[in-house]
Chains A and B, each alone.
Chain A
Amino acid sequence: MSPTLILIIAIVLIVLFVWSTYNALATGKVRIKEAFSGIDVQLKRRVDLVPNLISTVKGYAKHEKELLENVTKARSSLMNASSTHEKAVSDNMLSSALKSLIGISEAYPDLKASKNFLALQEELSDIEAKIAYARQFFNTNVSGYNSTLVNFPGSVIGNLFGFKQEEFFEAAGAERKNVEVKF
């Protein structure tokens, strides 16, 4: 075999390798975006549910102004959030605010027995389970993509084409602070 032929084969192999790694990274990014829209759908469902829940609770427990305001605030901050991290943090705020709101039903037997409230509570817990699973799927995708990006051959190609590590959907730090359920 002549040296030129070997050189050509080597170049072709390298090009193929770069190509496939680039594609893997690009696909990974698309998957992450898709997975994120999966979370977004559920977050939106919860945002839409909140006004209903608030008006139901107001009917039985007018005096819990602070709790209701917390929920409204968390809801609007979630609606305005744009980055992954912002969404994760405000989602977490809304979760704990809603938890306290559901918690007060213990003090209001009429509210607790209300059919409307029960149905809303059930839907809320369903949405929360779905958010948890969507988040798990998102984070699995992110970790797959990130590990391609930090390990050796992928890291070179990632740098070359400007791929950046993606953020996990988590409210690191803020999580522990906000879970203060008041009764």
Chain B
Amino acid sequence: MNIYSQISANKNKTWLIIFLFVIFITTIVFVYGKASGYGLSYAGIGLIISGMMAFASYYYSDSMILGMSGAKQIQKKDNPTLFRTVENLCIGAGVPMPKVYIINDSAINAFATGRDPKHSVICVTTGILGRLNKVELEGVIAHELSHVRNYDIRLMAVVVILVGLVALLADFFMRSLWYGGGRRRDDRGNAQGIFLLIGIVLAILSPIIATIIQLAVSRKREFLADASGALLTRYPEGLASALEKISQDKEPLEAANNATAHLYISNPFKLQSNSKHWFTNLFNTHPPIEERIKILRSM
């Protein structure tokens, strides 16, 4: 797969996800409406609402994501080294200069978001600035710029908001299913029945949604970004040693959640898998870091 086929595949997948989301939400709202005796008019409302959500996710997902992760925009004078690194690599990649954001967290991580190269953002943690040297930082930024250039950012941003929203809903209904059972009230029996129904539907759908994310955010994407990042810096070892430092760092990134996890250069949860977070594991889309380092070292 080369960059150009990757770009068109990403654009198509973005529309597919938006389409599936609209269908899905409309169906759910229709079922809810049917159960409470309204039917088609609810489906119309569902269509309008999900359409608006899809529209919002396309245009505003980047600011939502940045808001969710608590990132702050910086200017050149705040961190000239970081800014110059981004500038240089942009010249090399032939993309416009993205906005630069910083997350105040000592974990080593980074991500890129936006809807196209003209509206893109690169975000790094303060941990990256403190603990990576210049060539390692260049490697990481080049990897992120490759995501920008390949339109990975558009697909991932839409996935974060739309699929994340469905996952969040599923999570919410599942919880109300487990914990709400004890304090049942007679007057809300009907509503609970509908909640139960939606909960079960979403519970069945969750693995399917997870599969969609897996498909959309395929592991190839990370390998391709690693490779084109290395082509940009002409120095694969920089990214390899940065990934090594990231894998040795045991500190999880607090600002990340289920929906945004797959945006980051490496899994922000640091594999603290326990039974409580089965949902997290379901959404774990990162290829093993050791494999990435091995491939970079063999370039």
Point out residues on A near B: beta carbons under 8 Å.
35, 38, 42, 126, 129-130, 133-134, 136-137, 141
Q: How many Å lie between the Cα of A137 and that of B91 in the bound state?
A: 7
Q: How many Å lie between the Cα of A38 and that of B89 in the bound state?
A: 13
- Return 24 A-B CB contacts under 8 Å, by A number: A35-B94, A38-B91, A38-B94, A42-B91, A126-B84, A126-B88, A129-B84, A129-B88, A130-B87, A130-B88, A130-B91, A133-B88, A133-B89, A133-B91, A133-B92, A134-B91, A134-B92, A136-B92, A136-B234, A137-B91, A137-B92, A137-B93, A137-B94, A141-B94
Which of B84, B91, B93, B94 has the largest count of A CB atoms less than 10 A from its CB?
A: B91
Looking across the interface, which residue of chain B has its beta carbon closest to that of A41? B91
Q: How many Å lie between the Cα of A96 and that of B9 in the bound state?
A: 46
Give, as a whole number of angstroms, the nearest-CB distance from B143 to chain A. 16
Give chain B residues whose Cβ lies under 8 Å from the Cβ of A137.
91-94
Give chain B residues whose Cβ lies under 8 Å from the Cβ of A38.
91, 94
Q: How many Å lie between the Cα of A55 and that of B14 in the bound state?
A: 56
Give chain A residues whose Cβ lies under 8 Å from the Cβ of B93.
137
Known: A136-B92, A137-B94; 15 extra A-B contacts, CB below 8 A, are: A35-B94, A38-B91, A38-B94, A126-B84, A129-B88, A130-B87, A130-B88, A133-B91, A133-B92, A134-B91, A134-B92, A136-B234, A137-B92, A137-B93, A141-B94
Q: How many Å lie between the Cα of A136 and that of B91 in the bound state?
A: 9
Mostly, the B contact residues are helix
Pairs A-B, 7 closest by C-beta atoms = A133-B92, A133-B91, A133-B88, A134-B91, A137-B94, A129-B88, A136-B92
Looking across the interface, which residue of chain A has its beta carbon closest to that of B90? A133
Q: How many Å lie between the Cα of A141 and that of B89 in the bound state?
A: 16
Give, as a whole number of angstroms, the nearest-CB distance from B295 to chain A. 22
Point out residues on B near A: beta carbons under 8 Å.
84, 87-89, 91-94, 234
Give chain B residues whose Cβ lies under 8 Å from the Cβ of A130.
87-88, 91
Give, as a whole number of angstroms, the nearest-CB distance from B84 to chain A. 6
Looking across the interface, which residue of chain A has its beta carbon closest to that of B92? A133
Q: How many Å lie between the Cα of A118 and that of B88 in the bound state?
A: 20
Q: How many Å lie between the Cα of A42 and that of B89 in the bound state?
A: 14
Give, as a whole number of angstroms, the nearest-CB distance from B211 to chain A. 37
Q: How many Å lie between the Cα of A4 and that of B287 in the bound state?
A: 56
Give chain A residues whose Cβ lies under 8 Å from the Cβ of B87.
130
Give chain A residues whose Cβ lies under 8 Å from the Cβ of B88.
126, 129-130, 133
Give chain B residues whose Cβ lies under 8 Å from the Cβ of A136.
92, 234
Q: How many Å lie between the Cα of A42 and that of B91 in the bound state?
A: 10
Looking across the interface, which residue of chain A has its beta carbon closest to that of B91? A133
Give, as a whole number of angstroms, the nearest-CB distance from B117 to chain A. 14
Looking across the interface, which residue of chain B has its beta carbon closest to that of A129? B88
Give, as a whole number of angstroms, the nearest-CB distance from A144 to chain B. 11
Give chain B residues whose Cβ lies under 8 Å from the Cβ of A42.
91
Q: How many Å lie between the Cα of A38 and that of B92 in the bound state?
A: 10
Give chain A residues whose Cβ lies under 8 Å from the Cβ of B94.
35, 38, 137, 141
Q: How many Å lie between the Cα of A25 and that of B142 in the bound state?
A: 28
Give chain A residues whose Cβ lies under 8 Å from the Cβ of B91.
38, 42, 130, 133-134, 137
Give, as a whole number of angstroms, the nearest-CB distance from A21 to chain B. 16
Give chain A residues whose Cβ lies under 8 Å from the Cβ of B234.
136
Give chain B residues whose Cβ lies under 8 Å from the Cβ of A35.
94
Q: How many Å lie between the Cα of A111 and that of B37 in the bound state?
A: 85
Give chain B residues whose Cβ lies under 8 Å from the Cβ of A129.
84, 88
Looking across the interface, which residue of chain A has its beta carbon closest to that of B93? A137
Q: How many Å lie between the Cα of A38 and that of B93 in the bound state?
A: 12
Give chain B residues whose Cβ lies under 8 Å from the Cβ of A133.
88-89, 91-92
